[in-house]
Each structure stands twice: as structure tokens, then as C-alpha cells.
Amino acid sequence: MSPEVPPPGCPAHRGGGGLVELHDPSAVANHEATDERLRKLYGNVAPVALPGGVTAWLVLGYREILEVTGNPRLYTRDTRQWSGVEQLTPTHPLTALLAPQKLCVFADGDEHHELRGAITRTLGEFESRSVRRLVEMYSNQLIDQFPNPDRGLSDGVRHVDLVTAWAEQLPMMILAHLAGLPVETAPRLVKLCQDVMGGTEEAQHSHREMTVLLEDLVEQNRRWNMERPRNNVTAKLLERFQGDRERTREHVRLLLIAGNQTTVSLMSSLLRYVLTSRAFRSEVRGGHKTIAGALEEVSWYEPPLRRSFHRVATNDTHLPNNGGTFIKKGDLLVLGLAAGNNDPAIRSADEPLDGNRAHLAYGGAGPHECPGQGIARIIVETGVDHLLDALWQLELDGPEEELRWEASFAQRRPANLPVRCTLNPVRPGRTRSAHSAPLPKSVPQSAGAMPAAAVPSSAAPEPAGGRGKLRKILGS
């Protein structure tokens, strides 16, 4: 394929006719098959159609993704340079994802360095040990609400869906707490994030509702900062952005949406492999796989975002590893992270992946790699570790074939994980009440957050993934 001549039907022609629609129900239901069909037809860079009539290049190759993410001068995050930006009307399903915003993910160069630096410094102020305590506390609250239809005794058999009752709730409870939001807002925030990320018809309405909620949060922290600053994420970003309320609001939104969606996906996918994969269970049962190592392996198979927005070509170019596919200045690119992880050019199907962090689960390499991946790992590893310690005699409640996926054109994760289990009456963090929640360092009382209380060092949990308790729980 000549780099000088755009292939018929590609985004460079702006027609979009005949392109594979990633949001088509058949494509959404069969991500891997769709990716491999596109790879076979076009190589590692394929023309595709997105919701709302948008055309783009889907980058499917591992090396090609690293080429794009590592070269922000040629592949920018600034969608003002996208030739199709005028399509983003207020009702367009991709407006919430692609409309230019005052966010680090839409910036490059010095502006991006400044914005990302504010985020990384803010997140760096939250001590990992204290975040683990938060995870245990909120995990216990959710576990205590598990139904017990068989018997009214504490050791009775429970039937519960671990996705809806636990994995979908826990990350947002923690993120809301850290942002200074009342934890009671977490369930609604989960729904709003799902709408925005899914590009559904409700995306714009949910985006506006979330805007109102976050504007109130930022204004409240602005007033507090004039008297006695609150040490939550919102207050710290407001200070670092020199009182810029819009910029603060949008970055808190980014942390809530991206942080929640990725963490829920990783949690539920890891639990699904533990419950359904015989080989996975065998390694766990033998004590050969830690939770931390297992998380990295699952990140290869089921990255939290299978397709990641966005890059825009700043000049006419081509990706050399794809035989010279022509990419026109202003073209939109989408990164096929799951396809890149499965690229046969970089790994074989039977290659061991336990503990291997070379996956693309956090967006690839380069300056835009996810800044919150450290906290995401803490939440997933500590949460799953705590859950498996709390639930005894854990097994899938029904055939694996009845498990469902929640999917969109950009992501996929387990929609349900029904299990049978009994509860461990003694589990880490349960003695700490909801009114004495240990907070991250330098986070005192704030609106909606629980008051801090000293916790003896003996009560601090061990780092997740190192205790080998999976063998005990799953080996029965």
C-alpha cells in the first residue's frame, strides 16, 4: 500500500462507507474476532467507523501503538487539530470523550507537563498503606451487606453477585472519599461514568449531571481553602491550578471516570479468572502466583480499556511497521490496546505472563501513560486480597456459560459473577468502624469524608499479594 495514495474507504476520504463499525452489536459482542478480522484485512492499522458517523484509524499492533504513544509531536492529544472536530455537536455521542477540554489528556508539551505534574504530585501525597486501610474498611462495609437467604446465622451460605455487590461499588467509594465527595454519591457516580465511557444516548445528560455535582464540590473546596484548606484531591488540585475551577473540576472528573472504570474492570476480570480458569486456579492453588502477579497477567488478557481514545495526526505520515499505511494530517487514531497485547508479532499464545508489566493496559508508553495506575494497583490488589480472605468456600454459583459481559465499542468486562460462599468472621479491618476511618496522610475531615482516627501500626495490613492465601481459600 503506497503511503502517497490513501486506500479507498479509509478515514482520509471522509466517506466512511463500508467500514467496520466498532459500535455495531456484533462487533461489540466479539471484540477479539473483530480485531483479528481487521488485522487480517488491513494489517496493524485499520480504517473503522465509530458512533455518530466518525471515522478513524484503529491501531492494532503492539509496536505501532508504542510508536504513536511515544511521539506526541506527530500524534497529538489535542483534538482541536482533528479534521472532524466540527462533528461534535452537543448531542453527539462522542462529544464527552473527544470535545477539546482543559485536561491533561488533551494537551501536549509544556502544558501537559504542568497539568500532569499537578496530578502526579497530588496522588503522590496519599500514602499506600493508608489507602489499603480505606480499601479494607469499605470492602468490609460491602461484604457485611451481602444477602444471606439460606440461614440467618453469620456462618450461613451466601449467594451474591461479586460484580454488582462489590467490584462495581468499591473503587468509586474510595475515589469519592479521596476527592472529598460523600461516599453515598458513589452508586450514582458509577452510573454516570458508565454512560460517559460507553458513548450511549445518555452520555451527554450524564456528563451534564456530573458537571453540576463537581461544580458544587469545587466551589465548596474553594471557600474552604480561603479559611482552612481541606487536604483532599479536589482542594489540592484547586490550589495547584491557582484557583482555576474549571480545570480543577475537569481533572477531578477525569480521575473519577478513568480511575473507576479501569479499576472495576481489572477487579472483576481478575475475579473471573480466579473463579473460572482451571490453569489459573492451579497456579494459584499451588502458591506459584501472587495476586500482584496475577493482576499483571490478567492485564494482558483483559485490559480495562480495550480501545483507547485518542490521537490526532499533526502531519501526513505513515506507520512504518504497517507497510506504509497512509495517515493524513488531522486524522483521528484509536489505540487497540487489547489487540496490541495479543499481537502475534510480540508474543506467543503460551508465553508466561505472570508479573509481566510490558502490557498496554495503562495506555502504552510515553507521556500520557496513566498517572493513576499506582493507586489502581493498590485498590485492586488489596481489594481482591481482602475479599478472598473474607469469603470461605468460594465457588461459582452456576455454569460458566451463563456469565455475561458488559461491553461497548471501547471496553469489556464481566457483568456478573454469581458465587456461593461463607463469611470469615474475623477479617482485616473489620474492627475499625465506619466512624473511625483511617484516611490517607494529610487528609483531615472534609465534606462527606469520614473523620480520621489513629490506627495502631499493628493493625496495618500487609502489602497485598504476598500472603499466599489464595491457595488456602481455593484449595478446599
Q: Is the pLDDT of residue 14 over 60?
A: no
Q: What is the pLDDT of residue 473?
A: 40
Q: What is the pLDDT of residue 17?
A: 55
- Please tell me the distance from the alpha carbon of residue 338 to that of residue 86, in angstroms, as a whole number: 29
Q: What is the pLDDT of residue 434?
A: 41
Q: What is the dihedral of CA 114, 120, 122, 123, to 10 degrees?
A: 160
**264-273, 358-367, 460-469, range with greatest mean pLDDT:** 264-273
**53-67, 145-159, 218-232, range with greatest mean pLDDT:** 53-67
Burial 190-212 (b: 16+ CB within 10 A, else e): bebbbbbbbbbebbbebbebbee
Burial 313-344 (b: 16+ CB within 10 A, else e): bbeebbbebbeebbbbebbbbbbbbbbbbbbe
- Please tell me the distance from the alpha carbon of residue 253 to that of residue 96, in angstroms, as a whole number: 11
* DSSP secondary structure code for residue 429 in this structure: T
Question: Considering only 9-18, 267-276, 454-463, which range has the smallest mean pLDDT?
Answer: 454-463
Q: What is the pLDDT of residue 449?
A: 35
Inter-CA distances, 82 with 23, 85, 96, 109, 309, Å: 21, 5, 15, 17, 13
Q: 472: burial class by Cβ within 10 Å (0-12, 13-18, 19+)?
A: middle
Chain mean position to CA 365: 16
End-to-end Cα spacing for the chain: 57
Higher pLDDT, 388 or 457: 388
What is the band of 303 on the pLDDT scale with cuts at 50, 70, 90? Answer: very high
Q: Please report, rounded to a whole number, the percentage of residues in the chain having pLDDT higher than 70.
A: 81
Average of per-residue pLDDT across 275-295: 80
| Nearest C-alpha neighbor of 211 from the set 225, 192, 224, 197 | 192
Q: Is the pLDDT of residue 313 over 90?
A: yes
Q: Is the pLDDT of residue 305 over 60?
A: yes
Question: 108-121, pLDDT tens digit by residue?
Answer: 999 999 999 999 99
Q: What is the pLDDT of residue 13?
A: 45
Q: Is the pLDDT of residue 471 over 50?
A: no
Residue 221: partners with Cβ closer than 8 Å, 6 or more residues away: 180, 230, 232, 234, 235, 238, 446
Higher pLDDT, 6 or 161: 161
Question: What mean pLDDT value characterizes the chain?
Answer: 82
Q: What is the pLDDT of residue 461?
A: 35
Q: What is the pLDDT of residue 37?
A: 95
Question: 392-448, pLDDT tens digit by residue?
Answer: 889 999 999 999 998 888 889 999 999 999 888 887 666 554 433 433 333 333 333
Q: Please report, rounded to a whole number, the percentage of residues in the chain having pLDDT higher than 90.
A: 55
Strands (DSSP E) found in 369-433: 391-396, 405-407, 412-414, 418-423
Higher pLDDT, 472 or 146: 146
Q: Domains, the chain, ranges and CATH?
A: 1-95+306-360 (3.30.43.20), 108-304+373-476 (1.10.630.10)
Q: Residues 179, 405, 288, CA angle at the centre, nearest 5°?
A: 80
Q: Which three cell numbers stand for residue 128?
A: 499506600
Q: Is the pLDDT of residue 376 over 70?
A: yes
What is the band of 218 on the pLDDT scale with cuts at 50, 70, 90? Answer: very high
- Please tell me the distance from the alpha carbon of residue 274 to that of residue 277, in angstroms, as a whole number: 6
| Nearest C-alpha neighbor of 411 from the set 220, 233, 200, 226 | 200
- Phi/psi class of residue 9: alpha, beta or left (left: φ > 0; alpha: ψ in -120 to 50)? left
Q: Is the pLDDT of residue 450 over 70?
A: no
Q: What is the pLDDT of residue 217?
A: 95
Q: What is the pLDDT of residue 141?
A: 94
* DSSP secondary structure code for residue 459 in this structure: G
Residue appearing with cell numbers 449531571:
209
Q: Is the pLDDT of residue 285 over 70?
A: no
Residue 118: partners with Cβ closer than 8 Å, 6 or more residues away: 237, 240, 241, 251
DSSP 3-state assignment of 395?
Answer: strand
Average of per-residue pLDDT across 363-390: 90
- Please tell me the distance from the alpha carbon of residue 65 to that of residue 45, in angstroms, as a whole number: 10
Q: Is the pLDDT of residue 12 over 70?
A: no
Higher pLDDT, 282 or 130: 130
| Nearest C-alpha neighbor of 364 from the set 318, 432, 284, 308 | 308
- Please tell me the distance from the alpha carbon of residue 196 to that of residue 250, in angstroms, as a whole number: 13
Question: Considering only 58-67, 194-203, 306-315, 453-462, which range has the smallest mean pLDDT?
Answer: 453-462
Q: Residues 410, 351, 464, CA angle at the centre, nearest 5°?
A: 70
Number of H helices, E strands in the chain: 17, 13
Phi/psi at 128 (5° precision): -60, -35
Average of per-residue pLDDT across 266-285: 85
Q: What is the pLDDT of residue 197?
A: 72
